[in-house]
């Protein structure tokens, strides 16, 4: 199944790369003030979902754009067909296709289910699935990351390990900001300003999935953000954990596949 996940990510990446090289016979629309979507996002998601339905018809599917399939196997594929759409539109290379398979999926929540503050409503809070494997392909950088629970994390076949940085003053960290940052009280700007005075450097790449891959690869020492969705983090969380890192909420508690806060680090900075 890992090989299938890798092939999905690579096929999606090829579609993204082809669209990029054609220099914009794609259409652009908006899901909000800053939340862009292109027909490339939708074409990639439709392609991946069709492949999953043919190969794993019993599995659920959760895609960023529109695909929702409950499934009957207890497993769910979580897809981000183009993480970093704004980057893609501007020709910035930090974009990726993220594919994860998670287990323990009990189907979508009941319509009248009550959610706590850490739920965005895609899963029942009592039955959050656990990532089993993930693949992240960066089409414009020509990199393929993957991980399998209990079997390690890899970049193009090379084992990954988180960095050895032990102090914030020697750390390069990454973050991002919600599309609705003008409307949100906790928009991460205060966190950014505080940490900017304590770390060696902060980067804002525009693709949470790749930021997490970079933590797994030791390129970043830590990453934090708010209000990310399952498709942003499902594969990357597993990569960080399998590369020896830690993934928690801001208080250091367990961070499930769905939640408001995420901190991923090389573990030493957590400690």
Residues in binding site for Mg(2+):
64, 80, 82-83, 232
Q: What is the pLDDT of residue 33?
A: 55
Closest by Cα among 123, 138, 153 to 247: 153
Q: Are 206 and 176 in contact (CB under 8 A)?
A: yes
174 and 96 assigned to the same domain: no
DSSP state of 170: G
Find the length of the chain. 271
177 and 148 assigned to the same domain: no
- E-assigned strand segments in 116-192: 130-138, 143-148, 152-155, 158-159, 172-175
- Tell how far CA 232 is from the center of its chain: 3
Total domains in the chain come to 2
> What is the overall mean pLDDT for the chain?
89
List own/partner pairs for 2-6 with CB under 8 A and 24 or more apart: 2/133, 2/135, 2/146, 2/148, 4/55, 4/56, 5/99, 5/100, 5/101, 5/133, 5/134, 5/135, 5/146, 6/135, 6/144, 6/146
Q: What is the pLDDT of residue 112?
A: 43
Per-residue pLDDT tens over the stretch 103-146: 987 666 554 444 333 345 567 666 678 999 999 999 999 999 99
DSSP state of 110: P
Highest mean pLDDT (candidates 28-42, 171-185, 205-219): 205-219
Q: What is the pLDDT of residue 116?
A: 38
pLDDT band at 241 (very low <50, low <70, confident <90, very high): very high
45 assigned to some structural domain: yes
Q: Are 16 and 63 in contact (CB under 8 A)?
A: no
> For residue 48, which phi and psi values (nearest 5 degrees)?
-65, -45
Q: What is the pLDDT of residue 185?
A: 66
Task: Please give the residue range of the domain that contains residue 248.
Answer: 168-265
185 and 148 assigned to the same domain: no
Per-residue pLDDT tens over the stretch 20-78: 998 656 677 766 555 578 899 999 999 999 999 999 999 999 999 888 888 889 999 99
270 assigned to some structural domain: no
Per-residue pLDDT tens over the stretch 247-271: 999 999 999 898 889 999 999 999 7
Where is 192: in which H helix or E strand?
A: helix 189-196
**Cα gap 153→160, rounded to integer Å:** 5
61 and 88 assigned to the same domain: yes
Residues in binding site:
64, 80, 82-83, 232
86 and 120 assigned to the same domain: yes
């Amino acid at each position: 199944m890992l090989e299938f996940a890798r092939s999905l990510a690579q096929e999606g990446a090829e579609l993204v790369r082809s669209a990029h090289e054609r220099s914009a016979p794609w259409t652009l629309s908006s899901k909000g003030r800053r939340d862009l979507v292109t027909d490339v996002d939708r074409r990639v998601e439709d392609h991946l979902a069709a492949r999953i339905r043919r190969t794993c018809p019993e599995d659920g599917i959760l895609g960023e754009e529109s695909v929702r399939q409950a499934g009957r196997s207890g497993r769910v594929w979580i897809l981000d067909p183009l993480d970093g759409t704004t980057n893609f539109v501007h020709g910035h290379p930090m974009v990726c296709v993220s594919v994860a398979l998670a287990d323990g999926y009990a189907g979508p929540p009941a319509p009248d289910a009550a959610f706590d503050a850490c739920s965005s409503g895609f899963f029942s809070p009592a039955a959050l699935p656990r990532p089993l494997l993930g693949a992240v392909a960066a089409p414009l950088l020509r990199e393929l990351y993957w991980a399998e629970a209990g079997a390690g994390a890899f970049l193009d076949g090379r084992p990954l390990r988180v960095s050895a940085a032990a102090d914030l003053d020697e750390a390069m960290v990454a973050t991002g900001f919600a599309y609705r940052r003008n409307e949100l009280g906790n928009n991460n700007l205060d966190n950014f300003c505080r940490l900017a005075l304590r770390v060696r450097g902060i980067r804002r790449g525009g693709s949470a999935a790749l930021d997490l891959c970079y933590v797994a690869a030791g390129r970043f020492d830590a990453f934090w953000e708010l209000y990310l969705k399952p498709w942003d983090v499902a594969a990357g969380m597993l990569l960080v954990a399998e590369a020896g890192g830690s993934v928690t909420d801001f208080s250091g508690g367990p961070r499930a596949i769905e939640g408001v806060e995420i901190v991923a680090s090389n573990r030493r900075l957590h400690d």
